[in-house]
Amino acid sequence: MLAPLLRRRALTFTNTIGHWTGYEWVRNAAFGSAGFGLLFGLHYGFYRLLKYLATVELIGVLLTWKLTAMLMLMTFSMVVVSSLLTALTTLFYSYDLKFLLKAPVSLRSIFLDKSLESAFFASWMIGLILVPYVAAIMRVQHLGGAFLAAFLVAVPPFLLLSASFGIGFTLLLLYLFPSSRTRDVVWVFSSLSLTVVYGMVRFASPEKLVRPDALKLVAEYLNFLQAPTAPYLPSWWLAEALRLAAAGNWSGWAVRAAGLWGTAFVVYGLLVALAGKIYFIGYSGAQEGALRRREHGFKALPEQRLLGIGTGAALLWKERTTFFRDVKHWSQILLIIGLVFVYLFSIRRLPLDSAELRSLVSFLNVGTAGFVLSALGLRFTFPAISLEGRSWWVLRSAPIDVGGVMREKFLFSAIPILLIAVTLSLMTNWILDADRFTAWLSFGALVTVALAICSMGVGFGALFPNFQVENIHQIESSVGGFVFMAACLFYVGLTIAVLATPMQMHFAVRFGTGAWNDRLAAYSAAGWLAINVLAFTVPWRLGRAALENHE
């Protein structure tokens, strides 16, 4: 019974490719090239790191395989958490389930189809990142294609096992607590798990393993390096399989690869058998509507007063209500808090021993913090228009112009992003003890960058609206999301390049090697103003025109 469902997916894939226009072929080829470029960049970074580790006497090889085991453990954790979120959407809230459950197909076949889809989408991108790392090991240790083949044979069951744990947890959770509120628990738990994993990795200070002044400390922990890393998890089995393959011990590799495949088949088989008994119960319970409090008396007054003030306040109240109503949005505040805390912790741990170097890092913080704000804009600001979904027609039929809706989206996202930008700037300047000129310049630049990113996010979101998506990840990974991120990074890079001139003159004055040039400062100010005018106005106007003509 699974064959018709797989054939449906194959036909969908081939029909989609067959109907690509010339523009779509060029566009997808450009995106594919950009993706390969990112993978090559990762490969180069891994190669430089592993090449350095190979030069460390006595423990270089141990460090390499310890790092490999840690990377596999991190991959395992990320796939498990990712499969929690993916399975929740795919197995219980996918749009085609209402048709599949009415079709003459067994429930177990539907679960097979949807669980394999969940496992694929939860693991393919994370697993793809392992390829540049394995290629770097091959270059450093001069391994042949047999090692790559050993990796390609052993990694699929590892990813399937990782995803099966997450899918099984979601399946049991929805069975034991058959309510739509369980979905909120999963989102909060997943966000909290990612925050904890991210914080634990950073607080472990992995940079100590590659610092020359810490090598004596690493030598003292030689036994630790030789000890297994979570030996009962599939991550250690895969790491050991790769180590044995690199050493030419193919019999040992075969035993561990067979163990991965056998365990994957057993675990997934048990998962399918369990789903035959409890999947439909969890699915039925997940379709229940969430309970909402009834508001009486004075609780309704704030909304009435806001409506009396004007449409802008009413739209902000609507945005606030819908944001906190959907736990997928506000639960990720946990991730943002963890990201900010780890970012500041990383700044604190930088080995900076001079005032000038600390001031320089404070200025460069505009670029790194700008990248963080761009990522937040991609997650919260850019999808704001598209998340209106099928209710967009309600706003268009109301006596509200498109510009008012866009301004409301801008204000709602600008407040938290501006708060994060101010926090990053003030705390970084305080931690680094930057001089007054650098502190004020970086603060003003980062505040402007935050507002510009919000404006570009709303503008590009209106230029590339998609009101037919199931989840926010489809919006982020769309063509518009790529264009928005590219524009943000280009804008941040131009900002750093333009403001570098007054910073150079400032350091020249401090070192006594030059003087302040008012004309160059004026040129830099004019260039910075022009860049921001373009960033604020061009995407906004293009997006507004496109949204007004959208049907």
Same domain, yes or no: 451 and 356: yes
Cα separation, 271 vs 115, in Å, equals 10
Q: Are 233 and 76 in contact (CB under 8 A)?
A: yes
- Whether 300 is covered by a domain: the verdict is no
pTM beyond cutoff 0.85: no
- Residue 369 sits in the same domain as residue 241: no
d(CA 294, CA 230): 49
Domain count, the chain: 2
For residue 506, is it within any domain?
yes
Tell me which residue range forms the domain holding 57.
43-286
175 and 280 assigned to the same domain: yes
* The token pair that represents 79 in the structure block: 């796939």
Q: Do 315 and 168 share a structural domain?
A: no
Whether 485 maps to a domain, the answer reads: yes
The phi-psi region of residue 292 (left if phi > 0; otherwise alpha if psi is between -120 and 50; otherwise beta) is beta
| Same domain assignment for residues 320 and 352 | yes
Final residue of a structural domain among 286, 319, 338: 286
Do 235 and 359 lie in one domain? The reply is: no
Contact 243, 143 (CB under 8 A): no
Asked if 509 contacts 425 with a C-beta cutoff of 8 angstroms, the reply is no
Cα distance between residue 406 and residue 543, in whole Å: 9
Whether residue 267 is found in the same domain as residue 327: no
In a domain, 18, yes or no: no
Instruction: Please give the C-alpha separations between residue 75 and each of 37, 129, 189, 239, in angstroms, as whole numbers.
Output: 21, 9, 18, 11
Residues 517 and 445 grouped into a single domain: yes
Query: Is residue 2 in a domain?
Result: no
Of 240, 256, 286, which closes a domain? Answer: 286
Whether residue 456 is found in the same domain as residue 315: yes
How many helices (DSSP H) and strands (DSSP E) are in the chain? 22, 0
Query: What are the backbone dihedrals phi and psi of residue 96, each rounded to the nearest 5 degrees, phi first?
Result: -90, 0
Contact between residue 462 and residue 546 where contact means Cβ atoms under 8 Å apart: yes
As a whole number of angstroms, the distance between CA 346 and CA 361 comes to 12
Say how far apart CA 479 and CA 285 lie, in whole Å. Answer: 36
Q: Indicate whether 62 belongs to any domain.
A: yes
In this structure, the answer to whether residues 166 and 312 fall within a common structural domain is no
What's the average pLDDT block by block, 10 residues per block, for the chain (551 residues)? 77 82 76 79 86 75 81 83 78 79 83 88 84 92 90 93 89 72 58 57 52 48 51 86 91 93 93 88 68 43 46 68 63 66 72 76 84 82 80 72 83 88 88 86 91 91 77 67 83 90 86 81 91 92 84 63
Residue 24 within any structural domain of the chain:
no
> Cα–Cα distance between 197 and 220 in angstroms, integer?
26
Residues 252, 375, single domain; the answer is: no
DSSP labels, 266-277: HHHHHHHHHHHH
Report the distance separating Cα 181 and Cα 145, nearest Å. Answer: 50
pLDDT of residue 212: 46
Cα gap 52→247, rounded to integer Å: 20
Residues 211 and 312 reside in one and the same domain: no
Which two tokens mark 136? 């770097």
What does the pLDDT read at residue 109? 86
Q: Is residue 349 part of a domain?
A: yes
Q: Which of 253, 286, 319 is the last residue of a domain?
A: 286
Calculate the alpha carbon distances from 415 to 376, 408, 515, 539 in Å.
13, 11, 39, 20
